[in-house]
């Protein structure tokens, strides 16, 4: 085995490689097409007998050359032979530097968000081979960033990361539950859900900050926190009378809500898709001859699916009828105001509940209030559709398929979760199409009866 030479470090690198040095055992250089030559030392701790790797530094011609890093490696070997835990010493040095440099929680939040949003290569094995796509490191990075900006930065942003304690997190949790947290000059409404989102985001933040190589903190302060109150399961579903009232009310000419939002609400009930899955349907996602196909089918890409896998959603005749009205000649099934982009993912939710200014002034009255229906969310339409399916005798296993849930049991008994996640890849399109068509027939039957609606049209105060 030859020694590492200057030529090794200056040569063009086409693939990752490691070259070990003959004169200094454990000393090697890591070569990469995308990074500078970096020197490391592999060693064995004489006390714990554990193997370790210490990063020495990068190659710089003339100043930090091979000879320089070889000397540094020998110095490090002497320290190790004298019983020093060099890994622990390095961590302590980095923590001291972080404290002296005054790394705040806000700075770590910025780094964390940028790291999560960074696009990296993702490999996916398909029937056509390996597909490589560049996607953000975390699919839900935007949602996590919102939680950090809304709950964590206002209270903890100015603190040094190394000085945050579990009492700070516990107090933040208590204030969120009590509705005492102020962000951007506005007091946030207290809720168990908000506290849960805060804990998840801040725990991930500090665990990331404590990882070896960053060492902004010695350990995460998110320990021994008070337990959150139990959240009540959401059970809101629309009755048949409410479905009838809603369906006819959305067609009223005196409803001023954008027509495509009204059609999206109907489509959500008929298709059982989530808001962000259906509102961004593009013409390219429609298979075959699109809406004119004999068996219309839309494939929702994995980037937009909660499960992280494609959804093969067959469309019933009712869903196709709604989609044709909404889509027209646009590229998006539910296009926005100018037609060149889809509706916002919150468009349906805002239309249903209305819009109020921070001072309580009513900007627009929601559909629920206009039609005299108890408030509900777009996600409640999935629960309503699933309940309708159950009422007409469709099995829960089939309902789970239509909801894109993992099937835990079927007519033959329990099904291991790993079976549906990794092995049974059949989308069961025929089974879902039959069930969704039965749902469409039931919705048509419900709305076929006329209903009188007294609109509660209100002027904005």
Same fold, 6-84 and 240-447: no
- What is the DSSP code (8-state) at residue 132? E
Distance from C-alpha of 240 to C-alpha of 246, rounded to nearest angstrom: 10
Answer for the pair 148, 117: CB distance below 8 angstroms, yes or no. no
Extract the tokens encoding 184: 């951007």
pLDDT of residue 459: 39
> Where are any strands of DSSP class E within 160-302?
182-183, 186-187, 297-300
- CATH assignment of 6-84? 3.30.160.390
Distance from C-alpha of 98 to C-alpha of 164, rounded to nearest angstrom: 14
pLDDT of residue 100: 57
Extract the tokens encoding 160: 């040094």
The superfamily CATH assigns to domain 240-447 is: Intergrase catalytic core (1.10.443.10)
What DSSP line would sit under 24-69, residue for residue? Answer: STTEEEEEETTEEEEEEEEEE-TTT--EEEEEEEE-BTTTB-HHHH
- The sign one gets for the Cα dihedral 237, 246, 401, 388 is positive
Q: Is the pTM of this model over 0.85?
A: no
Distance from C-alpha of 70 to C-alpha of 74, rounded to nearest angstrom: 6
Q: Which residue has the tokens 């001023």?
A: 256
Distance from C-alpha of 430 to C-alpha of 298, rounded to nearest angstrom: 13
Nearest to 438 by CA among 316, 322, 345: 316
HEC string of 373-433? CCCCCHHHHHHHHHHHHHHCCCCHHHHHHHHCCCCCEECCEECCHHHHHHHCCCCCHHHHH
Distance from C-alpha of 163 to C-alpha of 251, rounded to nearest angstrom: 58
Instruction: Please compute, for residue 229, the number of CA atoms within 13 A of its CA located in the half-sphere on the CB side.
Output: 13
pLDDT of residue 461: 32
pLDDT along the chain (461 residues), means of 10: 88 90 93 88 87 89 88 92 84 67 86 91 70 82 92 92 90 92 80 93 93 80 90 89 94 88 96 93 93 93 82 94 93 89 92 76 83 94 95 92 78 65 73 95 91 50 32
pLDDT of residue 376: 95
Distance from C-alpha of 376 to C-alpha of 188, rounded to nearest angstrom: 21
pLDDT of residue 458: 45
The residues spanned by each domain of the chain are 6-84, 105-209, 240-447
């Amino acid at each position: 085995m030859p020694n590492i030479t200057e030529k090794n470090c200056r040569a063009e690198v086409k693939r990752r490689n490691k070259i070990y040095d003959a004169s200094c055992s454990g000393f090697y250089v890591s070569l990469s097409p995308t990074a500078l030559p970096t020197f490391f030392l592999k060693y064995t701790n004489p006390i714990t007998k554990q193997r370790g790797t210490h990063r020495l530094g990068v190659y710089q011609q003339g100043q930090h050359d091979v000879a320089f890093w070889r000397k540094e490696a020998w110095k490090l070997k002497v320290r190790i032979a004298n019983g020093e835990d060099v890994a622990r010493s390095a961590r302590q040095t980095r923590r001291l530097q972080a404290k002296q440099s005054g790394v705040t929680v806000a700075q770590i939040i910025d780094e964390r968000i940028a790291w999560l949003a960074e696009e990296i290569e993702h490999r996916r094995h398909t029937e056509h081979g390996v597909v490589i796509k560049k996607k953000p490191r975390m699919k839900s990075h935007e949602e996590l960033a919102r939680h950090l900006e809304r709950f964590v930065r206002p209270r903890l942003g100015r603190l040094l990361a190394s000085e945050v304690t579990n009492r700070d997190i516990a107090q933040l949790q208590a204030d969120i539950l009590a509705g005492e947290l102020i962000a951007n000059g506005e007091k946030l409404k207290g809720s168990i859900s908000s506290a849960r989102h805060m804990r998840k985001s801040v725990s991930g933040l500090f665990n990331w900050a404590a990882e070896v190589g960053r060492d902004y903190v010695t350990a995460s302060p998110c320990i021994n926190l008070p337990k959150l109150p139990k959240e009540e399961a959401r059970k809101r579903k629309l009755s048949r009378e409410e479905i009838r009232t809603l369906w006819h009310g959305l067609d009223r000419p005196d409803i001023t809500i954008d027509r495509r939002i009204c059609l999206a609400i109907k489509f959500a009930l008929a298709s059982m898709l989530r808001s962000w899955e259906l509102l961004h349907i593009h013409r390219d996602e429609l298979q075959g001859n699109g809406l004119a196909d004999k068996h219309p089918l839309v494939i929702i890409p994995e980037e937009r699916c909660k499960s992280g896998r494609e959804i093969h959603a067959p469309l019933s005749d009712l869903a196709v009828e709604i989609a044709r009205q909404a889509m027209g000649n646009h590229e998006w099934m539910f296009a926005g105001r100018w037609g060149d982009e889809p509706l916002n993912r919150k468009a349906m939710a805002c239309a249903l509940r209305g819009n109020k200014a921070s001072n309580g002034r009513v900007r627009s009255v929601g559909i629920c209030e206009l039609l005299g229906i108890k408030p509900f969310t777009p996600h409640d339409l999935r629960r309503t559709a699933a309940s309708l399916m159950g009422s007409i005798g469709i099995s829960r296993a089939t309902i789970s398929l239509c909801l894109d849930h993992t099937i835990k049991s079927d007519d033959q008994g329990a099904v291991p979760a790993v079976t549906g996640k990794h092995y049974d890849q059949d989308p069961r399109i025929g089974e879902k199409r039959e069930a969704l068509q039965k749902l469409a027939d039931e919705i048509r039957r419900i709305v076929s009866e006329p209903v009188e609606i007294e609109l509660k049209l209100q002027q904005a105060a």
